[in-house]
Amino acid sequence: MKNQLSRRNFLHVGMGVVGGSALLTGQSLAEKNKKGVILNPGMGHQKDSTCPCHLQNVGKGSTAYKDGEMNPMAFLTTFDYGKVKTLPSGDVEREYTIIAQDKEIEIAPGVQYPAWTYNGYVPGPTLRCMEGDRLKINFINTSHMPHTIHFHGIHPAGMDGVFEQVKTGGKFTYEFTADPFGLFLYHCHTMPLKKHIEKGLYGTFIVDPKTPRPKAKELVMVLNGFDTDFDGENEFYTVNGYSNYFTDNPINIKVGELVRIYLVNMTEFDLLNSFHLHGNMFHLYRTGTNLREHEITDTVMLCQGERCIIEFSYKYPGMYMFHAHQSEFAELGWMGFFNVLPEVA
Amino acid sequence: MSNDRVAEESDMLEVRRGGLFRSKLTLFLTALIPIVVLAGMVYWFATKGASLIETPAVPVEKLDFERIILHPAEIIAYVRNTGPTDITIGQVTVNEALWEASVYPSNAIPRLGSATITIPFHWVEGEPYEITAITSTGIKFTGSVEIAKETPKPGWRYFGIFAMLGIYVGVIPVYLGFLWFPFLRRVSKKWMNFFLSLTAGLLIFLGADALHEAFEVAERTPSVFQGVALITIGTLLSFLVLVIVGRRTMGSQASQKGDFYVRLTLTYMIALGIGLHNLGEGLAIGSAYVLGEVALGAFLVIGFAIHNITEGFGIVAPVASGDKPRNIHFLILGLVAGAPAILGTWIGGFIYSDIWATLFFAIGAGAIFQVVYEIIKLMSRESEAGIGNLTNFTGLVLGLLIMYVTGLFVVI
């Protein structure tokens, strides 16, 4: 770990000196000092420059992130549709497997967090199905703590993941019918609830309507925070688990392309989180349980556990920021960029 | 009985036959045994014994902010790892916003190692700032700037400002106090003892004050540097060293060198003790100035002048009776007692460290208590009662009270 850390820092210094100066005008700290280790080159550092220099290292690449099987970019578009089987009745059955495991994960450059995870990453896998599907979720607990999976949506009491505590080494299969369509979430419901959620046991659960939504570039964004020193306040805010990932790695989209974001707020401790889009307006579908749009806006506020679907397309190419409109969250890692590329005919 | 004698004789024989060497060797070995065993234990624990003791899941990290200085558009924090493990700084925030920072020489800081964090930041004068380092394990350590104010860079301008401050609060009041000398020469012996007791009272207060300051600063020093131990060592050493100096200069040869010599030496020792105390005071003023925590108005200077004028009085009291010292002595005494305040403000302003401040205050306290001890000795030589008689007792209490009341004027 130590080696990787110093190697990454070495890269940071390199980026600060070479990448930073090539990208922008103005002198960075790295250039000025040319010694020591530079953390977050360019971050927060206003420069007399024409580019979006609030973060001058936009698009510097994913040097900071140690990719495991999942990274925040891949997470955007990874959906778990389960093992599909058609039942004699004609219904579709989907079988998923979720394993609770303790794992230390990196949640910001150089900062580790001892997480409790579903399938080894935070947030957990995005489960996706269609309304009416018969779902079987095999839950295996390899963590040192008892856990459950509590799904939002309509299902019998015994499948609610509240009373059936699954002990270390234990198993449980949740079986219910996907109902209704919309954007849901799942999380551990073992007490103390706050602890089990803040440690990372949550994920997105999408139930598609039988009448499909229009074709779009679909992205999942889970808003969360990490309390790294366990004082009941978040030190870092992220989208999909890594602070400032999408400022370092902007999301490429095209002019005119319809983008749909499944937005889930799993932030613990802070009552609210929000999503604000620059240079554009979006169509808002609260909880995604209705195909009629709720309103057209550029900022949406989400309570703990609240979610919504938003749709937009960009008129002009360029780099556009998206972030929490709680400036504090934005400056503690909840920021990102869409890199809108010109449409190629 | 005869057996004993035989044994005794054989012992003597053995000693004669080179047993002297052997017994020395035995002595040496017995001293060495615990060290060898300890070394063995250390080796064993360092190599394989570590698994015996379970280490906590979250390492107990500690990072101390020793100093934060502000330059235009730049915040520089000096940090030291005072915890039991090596630590790595992962992120730095300024007022809860992740920020660019350079960490020199490295963000991996070994135990007791230090690093300089430089942050480009357009800070606003007069506002508070919190600089937080988040380690690789996610633990936060924060250093605060109560009131942002540009840190003086060592340069002629601040050199001058600090020198003036030191002269105002240290040198001038001491010389003013000397003006009581003609008065003291005219008072009767009984009253002289009264004023000597008063001096002892002043000094006891100053000593207690220095100790108090030392403990206050020691509380801020990282625990690994053991502030209280530093105070004990500093106070005791300065006290004992001065006792030896006192004995050498005044003690055994006193009869040969005469009363005047004893009194003058005592005067110099008081000046030295007060000088050390003023060094500490200068440190406090200099660092407070830099931290923007001091309202440097006429009030502070007036307060110190009133407070410290008593110091000048205390210095010249012992030489008031008997022969009058040459004028050059007064000049030197004033510098010995007052000039350290100038040095203190420079140190406090430019290279302040809590550890050094603790030590300076402790040394000052020890020196002052030693001087009190000498004064009381001098007084008991002159009158049987010493501080036991009512006049002298009143003097001492009055000395304490004067310091207390004038101390009310000094608020840093």
pLDDT at A132: 95
| Final residue of a structural domain among A208, A239, A257 | A208
Q: How far is CA B130 from the centre of its chain?
A: 29
- Answer yes or no: is A70 within a domain: no
- Answer yes or no: is B412 within a domain: no
| Final residue of a structural domain among A181, A208, A235 | A208
Burial category of B244 from C-beta neighbours within 10 Å (exposed 0-12, middle 13-18, buried 19 and up): exposed
Q: How far is CA B284 from the centre of its chain?
A: 11
pLDDT at A322: 97
Average pLDDT over residues A208-233: 95
CB pairs under 8 A between A and B: 121
Specify whether B359 is located in the same domain as B283.
Answer: yes
- Answer yes or no: is A57 within a domain: no
| Final residue of a structural domain among B84, B115, B145 | B145
Q: How many domains does chain A have?
A: 3
In percent, the amount of chain A with pLDDT more than 90 equals 77
Specify whether A84 is located in the same domain as A204.
Answer: yes
| Tens digit of each residue's pLDDT (9 = 90 or more) over B5-43 | 555 655 555 555 567 778 888 888 888 998 999 999 888
| Final residue of a structural domain among B91, B117, B145 | B145
Specify whether A204 is located in the same domain as A85.
Answer: yes
Specify whether A228 is located in the same domain as A245.
Answer: yes
Q: At what angle do helices B327-351 and B259-290 cross, to 10 degrees?
A: 30
Specify whether B74 is located in the same domain as B163.
Answer: no
- Answer yes or no: is B81 within a domain: yes
- Answer yes or no: is A258 within a domain: yes
- Answer yes or no: is B252 within a domain: yes
| Tens digit of each residue's pLDDT (9 = 90 or more) over A242-295 | 999 999 899 999 999 999 999 999 999 999 999 999 999 999 999 999 999 999
Specify whether B135 is located in the same domain as B163.
Answer: no
Specify whether A242 is located in the same domain as A185.
Answer: no
* pLDDT interval class at B60 (50, 70, 90): confident
Average pLDDT over residues A171-177: 97
Tokens of A323: 């972030």
| Final residue of a structural domain among B145, B166, B186 | B145
Q: Residue A17 carries which DSSP code?
A: I
Closest CA relative to residue A299, chosen from A327, A332, A333: A327
pLDDT at B12: 59
* pLDDT interval class at B388 (50, 70, 90): confident
Q: Mutation test of the interface with chain A: which of B98, B109, B114, B116, choosing the one with the most A Cβ atoms within 10 A? A: B98
Specify whether B281 is located in the same domain as B403.
Answer: yes
Upper half-sphere CA count for residue A154 (Cβ side, 13 Å): 10
- Answer yes or no: is B387 within a domain: yes
pLDDT at A3: 37
pLDDT at A61: 45
- Answer yes or no: is B171 within a domain: yes
Q: How many domains does chain B have?
A: 3
| Tens digit of each residue's pLDDT (9 = 90 or more) over A319-334 | 999 999 999 999 999 9
Chain B residues touching residue A331 (CB < 8 angstroms) = 96-98
Asked if pLDDT for residue B384 goes beyond 70, the answer is: no
pLDDT at A271: 94
- Answer yes or no: is B262 within a domain: yes
Could you list the residue range(s) of the whole structural domain that residue B75 is in?
A: 63-145
The residues on B that touch A, with CB distances below 8 Å, are: 57-58, 88-94, 96-108, 115-116, 118, 120-122, 134-140
Average pLDDT over residues B303-313: 76
pLDDT at A93: 97
Answer with the residue of higher pLDDT: A184 or B409. Answer: A184
Specify whether A292 is located in the same domain as A225.
Answer: yes
Asked if pLDDT for residue A70 goes beyond 80, the answer is: no
- Answer yes or no: is A158 within a domain: yes
- A41 min Cα distance to partner chain B (Å): 5
Q: How far is CA A145 from the centre of its chain?
A: 24
Specify whether B180 is located in the same domain as B128.
Answer: no
pLDDT at B334: 92
Specify whether B171 is located in the same domain as B46.
Answer: no
| Final residue of a structural domain among A177, A208, A239 | A208
Flag if A37 and B103 touch (Cβ within 8 Å).
yes
For residue B90, what is the nearest residue in chain A, using CA coordinates? A110
Average pLDDT over residues B127-152: 90
Specify whether A190 is located in the same domain as A91.
Answer: yes
Flag if B118 and A36 touch (Cβ within 8 Å).
yes
Residue from the list B96, B103, B137 with its beta carbon closest to the beta carbon of A112: B137
Asked if pLDDT for residue A182 goes beyond 90, the answer is: yes
* pLDDT interval class at B224 (50, 70, 90): confident
- A244 min Cα distance to partner chain B (Å): 10
Angstrom distance (rounded) from CA A198 to CA B219:
36
Specify whether B361 is located in the same domain as B393.
Answer: yes
Answer for the pair A322, A339: CB distance below 8 angstroms, yes or no.
Answer: no
Specify whether A86 is located in the same domain as A204.
Answer: yes
How crowded is residue B394: how many other Cβ atoms within 10 Å of its Cβ? 14
Answer with the residue of higher pLDDT: A215 or B395. Answer: A215
- Answer yes or no: is B58 within a domain: no
Mean pLDDT (chain B, rounded): 82
Using only the alpha carbons of chain A, give its radius of gyration.
21
Q: Are strands A127-130 and A150-151 parallel, antiparallel or unpaired?
A: unpaired
Specify whether A96 is located in the same domain as A160.
Answer: yes
Asked if pLDDT for residue B221 goes beyond 90, the answer is: no
Specify whether A190 is located in the same domain as A131.
Answer: yes
* pLDDT interval class at B256 (50, 70, 90): low
- Answer yes or no: is A175 within a domain: yes
ipTM of the complex: 0.80
Given phi > 0 = left and psi -120 to 50 = alpha, else beta, which region is B314?
Answer: alpha
pTM exceeds 0.90 for this model: no
Average pLDDT over residues B81-90: 91
- Answer yes or no: is B151 within a domain: no
Asked if pLDDT for residue A55 goes beyond 90, the answer is: no
Asked if pLDDT for residue A145 goes beyond 70, the answer is: yes
Specify whether A158 is located in the same domain as A248.
Answer: no
- B228 min Cα distance to partner chain A (Å): 30
In percent, the amount of chain B with pLDDT more than 90 equals 22
Please count the helices (runs of H) and the strands (runs of E) in chain A: 7, 21
Could you list the residue range(s) of the whole structural domain that residue A34 is in?
A: 2-40
